[in-house]
Structure 1
Amino acid sequence: MENLYCLIMAGGSGTRFWPRSRTVKPKQYLDMFGEGSLLESTIKRFSTFTETDNIYIVSNKNQATELEKQTPELPRENLIYEPVGKNTLPCIGLAALFAEKENPEGIMVVSPSDHLVNDHALFRDTVLAASKIASEKDGIVTIGIRPTFPATGYGYVKTAEDITGSETIRQFKVDRFVEKPQLKTAKTYLEDGGYFWNSGLFVFKVSVFLEAVREFAPALYSDLRKIQAVIGKPSYPQTLDEIYRAVESISVDYGIMEHARNIYMVEGNFDWNDLGSWQSVYQEEEKDENGNASNGESIFLDAKNSYVFTDEGLVALVGLDDVIVVRDGNATLVCKKENAQDVKKIVDQLKAENRNHFL
């Protein structure tokens, strides 16, 4: 579609995927399942219904070499580099400036770079359904995933009026966005049936989104306009650096979605995994009769329900259940699956101790 634009947010550090995920090559640039990197898969998914000239990527300068290596099909001017990470609202706002110069009434789809989606046809149909709402109702649309278990690691979207009508994909007005809940609360959400996981996918007219920024984040809006005035000029890098470093770090959920009134949701029934930790990678891998999965040379002896990755050599697991072992370069991770979310604490500790050669 000529008026459809895509923003892929690829500036994350992927700390829960250490030691494979490193500073210059975090998880979105890794090939997790032998089918290309997560970023490459995301681009491929969108390029089936979006012109490649309309696909933008926001990342950071540390990842520039790897990003350019993995995106030969995209115009270099569509690769936007943040001087420093400032969460999702400034990131999306910055990309919207570039899209606005092309088509203020264009529809932009915002997507993380590191999600796993297996049903590409249904994904396309869902995004196009959201695009139709964004176009016809001047709404900001999110894609909600029906919960399959009481997850505490996701934010939720509480739906209001069902506006599906004759459409094949369910559609709703949104009541409110809900922060990541405690387990007891997540169970009540699952029982209620009116709550969906917040996928982090958003669809909107560029003009409608920027108007929402003007209304609910006026200081950021003013700063974005100052940046836009110098796009393509020699002063752009310095102006971007000076202004962007000073803007508030805030998510699009907090900054816009919790305040705006024209919020809609379409239901995403495609197979989806946000790959939040090594445990989620284990869940996607093919397993042997003992529930073990591996990538690389491995031996499992009297071991069950475990995952091994090794970039070289052999990893042998003996007498251990429910563990994750990841060997990559100069570092090896060993942890219980239930502690997979805590891997980021290792990265925090390495940073605090200035052991940067492991990062």
Structure 2
Amino acid sequence: MNENYYAVLMAGGVGSRFWPVSTVQFPKQFHDMLGTGETLIQKTFSRLSKLIPKENILVLTNDIYNDLVLEQLPDLSPEQMVLEPAMRNTAPCILYATLKIKKLNPNAVMVVAPSDHWIEDEDAFLDNVQKAFDCALKQEVLMTLGIQPTFPNTGYGYIEYNKQDTNLIKKVSQFREKPDYKTAKEFLNSGNFLWNAGIFIWTVESVLNAFVKFQPKMYELFDAGYEHYNNPEEKEFIEGNYVKADNISIDYALMENAENVYVLPASFDWNDLGTWGSLHEKLGKDENNNAVVNARVFLENATNNIIRTDSDKTVVIDGLDNYIVVDRDDILLIYPKEKEQEIKKITAIVTKNQ
């Protein structure tokens, strides 16, 4: 394996739309959401370790999940953990991780990827990452993988590229915010829009140059601790300074400002597993389009439901269509799938009243 290849797994999210399975104490990336015997972060680590040396994979997460990550990824050493003492969105933590990698290997090329996404064809994914690595090593670019849209999704951001661009890797024209349904249909019909999956590839040098140019204060803040990184005094520096960073995403901080942004249209099937409905799409289903995880079920006049319980619970349902049924510990959720975006709001209310 190439010793210059690195990865940063983003594993700090809470996944509140997957409540009551995903909680602040135990988010969705640490669950076996697909019933495969592996948690989402385990699947992601395994996938990337086919291309990237295991010792070069860093996990970026909140410090409250440190023990959970090390328990689920026994091949990881504590030194590979990049711990956020405060939530500051994706730009500060990516900069922090990049400076740590630079100190280890200034010639590194890296992929930044979410730890909780579903990817069907892992070989195609690795081939795409390899192509992006090759491009990033040849020229100073900020690369991303864009997903071919299959329907007018209003829950994703979009990446627009020039229609006349016939190259495999395309120059990005602009990033577009999550659209309404009419606009999403227009994007789909245009043929030159891709879903933004939040997967980025660049050399350490390229992305740090972009931070210097577009986020100079943030760069100065983190670069001031460079001598401490990968040393015992790193923790004290980060705990004292991380909270001073702006709360901003990598898209707003760099990608929407830089001119050297390119996208490779992905050749693999992808799902961000952001909601119970998106999980329903990827699970096996019975003849009535019901998806079941763990439960033993007896179903009558039940269609288009997703049913998930702790192991081997028996669930009897009659006359339910297009619902989410989730039983975990002391919480039972029975909720219309069409209102799944509201689960995040419901979670906050229920948690506050408990």
TM-score range, shorter chain: over 0.9
User: For the Cα contact (< 8 Å) 1:161–1:174, is it kept in 2?
Assistant: no
Shift of 1:233: 4.1
Partner residue of 2:138 out of 136, 139, 163:
136
What corresponds to 1:321 in structure 2? 321
Q: For residues 146-198 of structure 1, give each alpha carbon's deviation from its aligned partner in whole angstroms, at most 9, with x where no partner exists.
A: 11100111000001276665xxxx21011111111111111100010011001
> Match of 1:27, as an amino acid?
K
What corresponds to 2:10 in structure 1? 9
> Match of 2:341, as an amino acid?
Q
Shift of 1:351: 4.5
What are the equivalent positions in structure 2 for 1:1-359 lying under 5 Å apart? 1-35=2-36, 36-160=38-162, 165=167, 170-295=168-293, 296-312=295-311, 313-353=313-353, 355=354
In 2 relative to 1, CA 352–227 (structure 1 residues): closer, same or farther, beyond 3 Å?
farther
User: For the Cα contact (< 8 Å) 1:23–1:62, is it kept in 2?
Assistant: no
- How many angstroms apart in 2 are the aligned matches of 1:54 and 1:232? 13
Shift of 1:20: 0.7
User: For the Cα contact (< 8 Å) 1:162–1:173, is it kept in 2?
Assistant: no
> Match of 1:229, as an amino acid?
E
Shift of 1:71: 1.1
- How many angstroms apart in 2 are the aligned matches of 1:14 and 1:221? 29
TM-score if structure 1 supplies the norm length?
A: 0.94
Shift of 1:259: 0.3
Residue ranges of structure 2 left out of the alignment (5+ in a row): none
> Match of 2:7, as an amino acid?
C
> What's the Cα RMSD here?
1.4
User: For the Cα contact (< 8 Å) 2:70–2:77, is it kept in 1?
Assistant: no
User: For the Cα contact (< 8 Å) 1:42–1:114, is it kept in 2?
Assistant: yes
Name the SS of the counterpart of 2:326 in structure 1.
strand
Name the SS of the counterpart of 1:338 in structure 2.
helix
User: For the Cα contact (< 8 Å) 1:161–1:172, is it kept in 2?
Assistant: no
Matched-pair identity in %: 38
Q: For residues 77-97 of structure 1, give each alpha carbon's deviation from its aligned partner in whole angstroms, at most 9, with x where no partner exists.
A: 011110012111111111101
- How many angstroms apart in 2 are the aligned matches of 1:174 and 1:232? 35
Name the SS of the counterpart of 1:100 in structure 2.
helix
Shift of 1:235: 3.4
Residue ranges of structure 1 left out of the alignment (5+ in a row): none
Q: For residues 294-349 of structure 1, give each alpha carbon's deviation from its aligned partner in whole angstroms, at most 9, with x where no partner exists.
A: 11122211111111111153222211100010001111111111111211112222
TM-score if structure 2 supplies the norm length?
A: 0.95
> Match of 2:170, as an amino acid?
F
Tell me the matched-pair count.
350
